[in-house]
Structure 1
Amino acid sequence: MSKAENCRAPEHVAIIMDGNGRWANARGLPRAVGHRKGVEAVREIVRAAADAGVAYLTLFAFSSENWRRPEAEVNDLFGLLKMFIRRDLAELHRENVRIRIIGDRVNLQGDILSLLLEAEETTRNNTALTLVIAFNYGARDEMARAMSAIAADVEQGRLKASDVTSALIDGRLDTAGIPDPDLIIRTSGEERLSNFLLWQAAYSELMFVPEYWPDFSREVFFAALERYASRDRRFGGISDKAVALGS
């Protein structure tokens, strides 16, 4: 058993699952094979997060910018999401996992949208791990939709400008009711957030790991949790250690 399984886990871990295509290219395989291998990693990490005591796991499955990819690849990604929900929903439900979907649902294909809604509704009352799937998600789009809704309320007299606070904005985001991520992990060695949870990441610990997503195993995940446990989170203040030294 790793140390991470014995220490206090972060409440919310968010992951940018990057590198499926490069994993496949490095092996001379089609990119679609990398995406299918990535789904296997999703299954492993969902179980690992639950075992570690993580309460919320957010996975960046499809960004609002991914529509720029070749149509065949987008269709393959959609097909994998459908397969994951149809194949894994019953097991996740048995494991008491709640599914939450964030992202823009407008213009999604009817069958995709109905599957997402079914996954949310079926697991609505579950109380173990909450699996948040960011699908057709972009943080700037999320904030623009929230601000537009707030502006409409001000315009219609339902709100005053002075009512607009950070807490109000939190409640209008797709992640309303979900705590901000304690830890954001990005795989594949890239070191950027790529329009992911920009508002919510204000005080998140960031971790960039070299493994491509298909190679992001349970062991690598627990090693990331161990590294997180050693960090000193100050939220703009000073650490307990610094206070002790100054006293």
Structure 2
Amino acid sequence: MPGILLVEAALQLAEAGAAELLPLAPGEVHCLSELSLRFRRWCEKDAPIQLVLVPQRGSGPGQRFLGRFEQSGAVVATLELELARAAPPPPSPVAPAPDEAAPPPLELVHKRRAENVLVRSLVDEGQTLRARLVPPPPGHLFADGHPELLPGLYLLESARQAVMLGAHGVEGVPLDRPMNLISCELSLSRPLRRDEGLSWRLRRQPYARLGETLLGDVACELISGATRIGRARVKAQVVTAAAYHRQRGSS
């Protein structure tokens, strides 16, 4: 089961709970401020999954939840998230600068359709790499929701795609080897408008080798203009096909 679908389920349930637990003042909206997902074992598509989300009391100005995903009597993943309440920021008086970078090859971001690619190709800026975010097309899953604000799920998936561009296009991680998500994190300082010019900024972070396994732990910063407004972190392992089948057999 893709981790992005588990996150979407948790966000929907948290939003429903926040309607009562975190009431809004006029003009405010609920927005994602913190998210952390960690896998303990495989989460399969062909068996029921139960999500348990527990609100935490007295955890600050926002509403924090602790969650777990259960399948076949075992916990397959744990989750922490926090929703904040804030007024949407006003539109910027300056239009974002155009990005001349081309769309990346679909296989580098593990996608089959161009409309699901959310970033431009990486631009080398010397000490860092930058991937400009692409607004979702009309009718897309990520175009749904608040008309002015970007959903947290879109930002998490765009971070994953930027990390994949660095892994395959810069660090040379082979495309023909299975890659398993271990954990992902996202932190945002404020709601983000759909018309902002946003980019993920990465530093070169080579994968560590442990026997036949490559381990990646990549952090990136979300940039609006010259201001950092968020961060993400993705941990993954790249294994051989034989190791992948051994892992699946023992899960």
Q: TM-score range by the shorter chain?
A: under 0.3
Q: Which structure is higher in strand share?
A: 2
Q: TM-score, normalised by structure 2?
A: 0.22
Q: Which structure is higher in helix share?
A: 1
Higher relative contact order (CA 8 A, sep 6+): 1
Q: TM-score, normalised by structure 1?
A: 0.23
